[in-house]
Structure 1
Amino acid sequence: MAESYSRHSHSKSSKYQKEKEVVMKSKSRRSKYSDHKYHQVESKTPPLPTRSTTTLAELIQKRESLKQELKKIVKNSTDNITNKETKKRKHSKDDYAYEIISKKSHKENSNKSNINTKRKSQHESSPELENMHVESEDEETIIERRRQQRKQLIAKLNVTNDRSNTSNNEVIKTNISTEDKHKTIKGIQINENNVSKQVTDMFSEKDEFESNGTNNNISHSNNESNLSLTDNWDDVEGYYKIRIGDVINNRYTIKNMLGQGVFANVVRAQDNLEGNDYVAIKIVRNNDLMYRTSLKEIAILKELKLADPDNKYHCVQFLGQFMHKGHLCLLLESLHMDLRAVIKKYGKHHGINMKALMSYSRQLLLALRLLKKIGIIHADIKPDNILVNEKKNVLKLCDFGSATKIDDNEPTPYLVSRFYRAPEIILGIPYKHGVDVWSAACTIFEMATGKILFTGSSNNKMLKCFMDLKGKFSSKLIRRGKFKDQHFNYNNNFLLHKKDEFTGREKVVELSNINVSRDLLYELKKSYKNVTVHEEKKVTQLRELLDKMTMLDSSQRVSVTDCLKHPFILEELEKDSSKKH
């Protein structure tokens, strides 16, 4: 047992001894390798530089030789530039680049000189730095000399040019690219070879372009030239500016202004081709809506002309249409004056005479009958839209801008001028020819008295005026109104909108009972005081006719045909010299 143990321990120690020897060998091998590597690196290191033996005199001589070479290069380059300039290749791509580089180099060299000056003060003993400073100063001097030479050449070349354009050319040449032979500036083409001769300050208010030789190098755009020659024919609202003496459509000479409405202005003009007869020209506003409305009016006028070829039914005659300066123009027969002017001249505060009143009323109703026959509602009857001839014996209805077909109308509270507006329009009840009958009644009353029948300042106050003369609206009629809630409450009591006397604010007053406060016969008789018996009879007949024409309910209102059959229209005025006192 002991023998086996000793054998085992001996083998173990021998094994350990071998391992130790292997480790020692590897260490010795590694140290040899590292020593070998170290010696290799050390052997490849370059030797230290030796001290320069160049003297100061040699450096100065070298500097002088470099200066001479630099002068030669500069001289050659300036000669080349001079040759190019004399050939009039002004401000070429190379020159432009050279100028930029020169500026940059000048800036850099000035910075370098500043830095070198500082360094020189710190290292006065260094000949290399001194040499660098001298060279930078020489380069700066050369650049400055070249710049002066360039200015002199430019001055010589521009002597032949106009002196007033010299400064402008300098600005323009720096902004024009030489890659394009021709460049367009605001519709003007410029040839680069003649820039200095042809181009002046494009922002100048004065026209400085030369008249000679400009056709070859400058061409104006047609659109620009046309725009500059176009006058402003319209005012800010699109109305044509009327100028007495202007010739429209190369045929009609404007003589005077007749009037202006919402849609157009109207002039009287002389026809230079048809025996110098006078015509009326309605010049529509330059507006899309007005244009479309006027086309509709033209269609109605043509329809009226077909229905009345003999011109008997007192609607103004349509003669044609044309365009002038962007305005649609309607050619109409010329009449002397409108009915409002007649009332103002012959019947102010008392009305026109009974015979003229009867004649005018009959002619107006005949025009309305023609409109009803072809299914048209005029929708704007008033004294301003009724014309009379020079003898004052013929009346004609005009201005069909608001006219519509009977089956093409919609409830709108502002149709017809307010003083002549029927109740059904204000309440929003579907309307027909009755609106023209109502307006005609207001117009006839105005002719008879010289005063407006209803003078409400709003739709609400107009309803109050109606009820002051005709009494309260029926509940049945109110319920049909689309806009009834603006004027009546749930009990069908009238809601009067008025201003408070103390505060000045709008307030609503409910009126359950409205008493009739006006007498139509009394108002008519005030205008016909010293009249004959027959004329007094006519006043009574007129009151009866107007009462029927102003029924609040349009279904109960008298028709145009029945108006023409009424005694006031049908019966002639009998002559009677006796006066009633």
Structure 2
Amino acid sequence: MCETLKTKYQVCEEIGRGRFGTIFRCFHPNASVPYACKVIDKSLLSDSTDRECLENEPKFLSLLSPHPNILQIFDVFENDDFLSIVLELCQPLTLLDRIVSNPFSEQQAASLIKKLLEAVAHCHRLGVAHRDIKPDNILFDSGDNLKLADFGSAEWFGDGRTMTGVVGTPYYVAPEVLLGRDYTEKVDVWSCGVLLYIMLSGIPPFYGDSAAEIFEAVIRANLRFPSRIFRSVSPAAKDLLRKMICRDDSRRFSAEQALRHPWIVSGGETTNLN
């Protein structure tokens, strides 16, 4: 742990542990609220990809903060052995925990996906693609506000520049990523669409018994709405899903377009698309 961190913050108990380090609760003497401090052990970074992820997190969070739906960064400390990042403290349960424990009404799903799309649209306006949107990376602060986190796989785009490289998580990755093509920031919209599908149904739109089978299903992108599960889901919600989980990325909605869809604008109440 960096000694300069200890001179500025009171570091308290461990509250989480990840692949590369540990998260502690910490306090600043001039602040009334606690923070989270992610302490990363550089000796656990095995290759250049790990090191790039390590550098991405504070770099992109500093650019994107503050935004009400993006995890806020406050301080960064680094020495030869550790990188310590002071972040806003969130609840221990992620969106994944909420999906597992409770079904979502259309109104609840619309409220959450709107906040997520607002965060994504903010990233895209600044030329940043997240590239690993999934429920594990969506946190909630003490006021229950959604916070997009973990920018380790983020990448710059813009000025006509596309991105390459297979990054992401099996259920949520866009088909153009798996096909090895150059791709745009719309990979994030695909991931948001998959998240919305899961919130409304409790199941992913593309699945298999292994990562390879999931990837094959994603590449086929045969989007279906099983009547047994989607019987009570409105036509407007399904229309938005088709436009976000669209295999042709030139026809896929942008985050800004998704935010203007009637189902989002009405808070999940719309049934008429005209």
Report which structure shows greater RCO (CA 8 Å, sep ≥6): 2
> Structure 1 residue 550 and structure 2 residue 252: aligned?
no
Alignment match, 1:252:
10
Pairs within 5 Å for 1:69-88: none
Tell me the residue number matched to 1:569.
264
User: Is the CA contact 2:52–2:152 (under 8 Å) kept in the aligned structure 1?
Assistant: no
Are the equivalent residues in 2 in contact too, given 1:369–1:560 (CA < 8 A)?
yes
- Please tell me the residue identity of whatever aligns with 1:556: R
TM-score by length of 2: 0.83
Shift of 1:388: 1.2
Q: Which runs of 5+ in 2 are unaligned?
A: 270-274
Q: What is the aligned-residue identity percentage?
A: 26
- How has the CA–CA distance of structure 1 residues 463 and 334 changed in structure 2, closer, same or farther, with 3 Å as cutoff? same
Aligned to 2:74: 319
Which structure has the highest helix share of the two?
Answer: 1
Matched, 1:329 2:84: yes
Match of 2:167 among 410, 415, 418: 415
Which residue of 137, 143, 147 maps to 1:396? 147
Number of residue pairs the alignment of both structures matches: 258
> What is the root-mean-square deviation of aligned Cα atoms in Å?
2.6
- CA, structure 1 residues 459+411, in 2 after alignment: closer, same or farther (shift >3 Å)? farther
Aligned partners of 1:367 and 1:397 also within 8 Å: yes
Q: What do the CA deviations read for 1:70-109 (whole angstroms, capped 9, x no partner)?
A: xxxxxxxxxxxxxxxxxxxxxxxxxxxxxxxxxxxxxxxx
The structure having more radius of gyration, on CA atoms, is 1
Structure 2 CA distance for aligned equivalents of residues 570 and 410 of structure 1: 31
Q: Is structure 2 residue 230 aligned with structure 1 residue 524?
A: yes
Task: After TM superposition, give the deviation of residue 390 of structure 1 in Å.
Answer: 3.3
Aligned equivalents of 1:551, 1:459: Cα separation in 2: 21
Change (3 A) 1:445 1:340: same
Q: Which runs of 5+ in 1 are unaligned?
A: 1-232, 234-247, 471-517, 529-535, 575-581
Report the AA paired with residue 6 of structure 2: N
Q: What are the within-5 Å matches in structure 2 for residues 175-194 of structure 1?
A: none
Match of 1:386 in 2: 138
Amino acid at match of 1:249: K
Tell me the CA shift for residue 440 of structure 1: 0.6
Deviation at 1:468, TM superposition (A): 6.5
| Structure 1 residues 266 and 315, CA gap change in structure 2 (3 angstroms) | farther
Shift of 1:363: 0.1
CA distance in 2, matches of 1:559, 1:382: 18
1:480-534 Cα distance to aligned partner (Å, 9 max, x none):
xxxxxxxxxxxxxxxxxxxxxxxxxxxxxxxxxxxxxx43565333xx5xxxxxx
Structure 2 counterpart SS, 1:390: coil
Q: Conserved in 1, the CA contact under 8 Å of 2:237 and 2:268?
A: no
The runs of at least 4 aligned residues of structure 1 exceeding 4 Å deviation read 407-410
Equivalent position SS for 2:131: coil
- Closer/same/farther in 2, CA of residues 342 and 391 from structure 1, 3 Å limit: farther
Q: Determine the structure 1 residue equivalent to 2:272.
A: none
| TM-score (norm: length of structure 1) | 0.41
Going from structure 1 to structure 2, the CA distance change for 1:460 and 1:355 (only over 3 Å counts) comes to closer
SS at match of 2:123: helix
Q: Secondary structure at the match of 2:171?
A: helix
Name the structure where strand makes up a greater proportion of residues. Answer: 2
In structure 1, the residue corresponding to 2:222 is in which secondary structure? helix
Counterpart-to-counterpart distance in 2, 1:454 and 1:463: 9
